[in-house]
């Protein structure tokens, strides 16, 4: 029986430049070896517009492929190997709830600008585009939050409260200027008296993978591995970011490991696939790279080599991902704003 690896190679040879495969850093090596480009959300979003390929297969989670649809050029077909590979954090911000919350906040008389982390649905991004807001990634959250703060009276940052708080810390936004919104149906979103002073309103979402990494893991790692440097993703809680030596996007983490001296010991607080890849990449330089806590994103793991091979075998007849025209249009506005601001 032909292996998934061989099937993928055969399809790639047949399609040539008509096919491009993109993979997020959290994908496992069996997938990454088949990709033309690897990157974080921002890097992959930037790639879409410049790709010649007619078929673009996005190995990641659903919201990433949706963003690719919004940024694709006419005639380009975006595919995802596993449509159930969703992001639980993105699911914590349903579009209808966002509209309700924004309406209630604006009825209180303040111009609230929505800023969504890219880990959100296309509908949520479209609402951000419509309401004068935009989106951000962990790599540009500081620039984008700074921009959004200048567009209105306050910013509603969603869905990741940890990224919102960590970014607010970088911008010296005091805790008295921040307020977490209550998104439970039937509840008042915020107390209007408190909201009058808030510059940053935070949606109460978080990534289950990064939220599980605690300050205690940083402390235990320092005891177990004297001299270790600790770098974490800003989806971790602020207490973890404060206890670490460095924090930043997956690209930052990759650079951190590359720039470390030979023999360095590094513990990383993010999804384990990236950590293991970096450990392997820098083994020959004597760098010891370990996970701060082993956390695997089961949704990222839904894209297996077999799934990818099955999709590629039927690529011509596969239904590409699509978005309602108005959602695609307004999501594109939000995404393009980010790409222009961060160009």
Q: How far apart are CA 133 and CA 128, in angstroms?
A: 5
Of 37, 23, 122, 20, which is closest to residue 76 (Cα–Cα)? 20
The residue among 46, 39, 76, 75 whose CA lies nearest residue 60 is 39
Where are the extended beta strands (E) located within 18-88? Answer: 19-24, 37-39, 55-59, 77-79
Tokens of 9: 């190679």
**Chosen residue from 201, 297, 321, 327 binding ligand SF4 by CB under 6 A:** 297
Q: Which one of the spans 35-43, 123-131, 281-289, 294-302 is the region binding ligand SF4 (CB under 6 A)? A: 294-302
Of 26 and 131, nearer to ligand SF4 (C-beta) is: 26
Total number of residues that touch ligand SF4 (CB under 6 A): 13
Of 26 and 147, which CB lies nearer to ligand SF4 in the complex structure?
A: 26
**Which of these segments, 165-173, 178-186, 202-210, 326-334, binds ligand SF4 (CB under 6 A)?**
202-210
Of 119, 137, 165, 249, the one binding ligand SF4 (CB under 6 A) is 119
Residue 300 touching ligand SF4 (CB under 6 A): yes
Q: Which is nearer to ligand SF4, 87 or 241 (CB)?
A: 87
Site for ligand SF4 in 246-275 (CB under 6 A): 271
Question: Could you give the CA distance from residue 63 to residue 89 in angstroms, rounded to a whole number?
Answer: 10
Closest CA to 78 of 279, 331, 299: 331
Q: How far is the CB of 102 from ligand SF4 (least distance, A)?
A: 23
CB closer to ligand SF4, 110 vs 302: 302
Which residue of 21, 45, 200, 209 would you call a contact of ligand SF4, by CB under 6 A? 209
- CA 145, 237, 120, 199 dihedral sign is negative
Query: According to the binding rule CB under 6 A, does residue 88 interact with ligand SF4?
Result: yes
Q: How far apart are CA 23 and CA 300, in angstroms?
A: 10
Diameter of the chain measured on Cα atoms: 68
Cβ distance to ligand SF4 smaller for residue 131 or 157: 157
Q: Where are the beta strands (DSSP E) in the chain?
A: 19-24, 37-39, 55-59, 77-79, 112-117, 134-136, 154-158, 178-180, 200-202, 229-232, 246-247, 265-269, 288-291
Q: Tell me if 4 contacts ligand SF4 by CB under 6 A.
A: no
The CA distance from 315 to 14, in Å, is 11
Among 22, 51, 87, 112, binds ligand SF4 (CB under 6 A): 87
The single residue among 89, 154, 201, 338 that binds ligand SF4, judged by CB under 6 A, is: 89
What x-and-dash track marks residues 128-167 binding ligand SF4 by CB under 6 A?
----------------------------------------
Residue from 88, 93, 84, 50 nearest 65 by CA: 84
**Whole-number minimum distance, CB 117 to ligand SF4, in Å?**
9
- Cα gap 165→173, rounded to integer Å: 9
23-62 positions binding ligand SF4, by CB under 6 A: 26, 61
Q: Which stretch binds ligand SF4 (CB under 6 A): 177-185, 241-249, 258-266, 292-300?
A: 292-300
Q: Rounded to the nearest 10 degrees, how much is the dihedral formed by the CA atoms of 100, 124, 127, 115?
A: 100
Catalog residues that contact ligand SF4 under the rule CB under 6 A.
26, 61, 87-89, 119, 207-209, 271, 297, 299-300
């Amino acid at each position: 029986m032909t292996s998934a690896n061989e099937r993928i190679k055969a399809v790639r040879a047949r399609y040539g430049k008509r096919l491009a495969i993109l993979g997020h850093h959290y994908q496992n090596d069996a997938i990454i070896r088949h990709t033309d480009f690897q990157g974080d959300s921002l890097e992959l979003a930037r790639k879409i517009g410049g790709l010649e390929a007619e078929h673009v297969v996005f190995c990641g989670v659903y919201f990433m492929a949706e963003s690719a649809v919004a940024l694709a050029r006419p005639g380009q077909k975006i595919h995802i190997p596993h449509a159930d590979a969703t992001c639980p954090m993105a699911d914590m911000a349903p579009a209808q709830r966002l509209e309700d919350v924004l309406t209630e906040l604006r009825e209180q008389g303040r111009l609230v600008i929505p800023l969504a982390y890219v880990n959100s649905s296309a509908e949520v991004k479209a609402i951000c585009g419509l309401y004068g807001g935009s989106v951000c990634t962990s790599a540009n959250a500081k620039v984008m939050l700074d921009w959004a703060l200048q567009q209105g009276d306050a910013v509603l940052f969603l869905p990741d409260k940890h990224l919102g708080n960590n970014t607010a810390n970088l911008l010296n936004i005091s805790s008295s200027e921040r307020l977490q919104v209550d998104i439970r149906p039937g509840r008042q979103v915020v107390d209007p008296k408190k909201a009058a002073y808030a510059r940053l309103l935070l949606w109460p979402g978080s990534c289950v993978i990064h939220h599980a990494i605690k300050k205690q893991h940083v402390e235990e790692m320092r005891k177990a591995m004297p001299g270790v440097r600790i770098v974490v993703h800003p989806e971790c809680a602020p207490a973890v970011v404060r206890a670490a030596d460095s924090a930043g996007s997956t690209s930052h983490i990759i650079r951190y490991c590359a720039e470390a001296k030979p023999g360095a010991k590094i513990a990383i607080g993010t999804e384990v696939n990236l950590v293991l890849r970096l450990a392997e990449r820098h083994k020959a330089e004597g760098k010891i790279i370990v996970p701060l806590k082993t956390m695997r994103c089961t949704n990222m793991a839904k894209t297996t080599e077999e799934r990818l091979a099955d999709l590629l075998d039927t690529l011509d007849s596969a239904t590409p991902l699509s978005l309602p025209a108005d959602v695609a249009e307004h999501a594109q506005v939000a995404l393009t704003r980010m790409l222009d601001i961060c160009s």
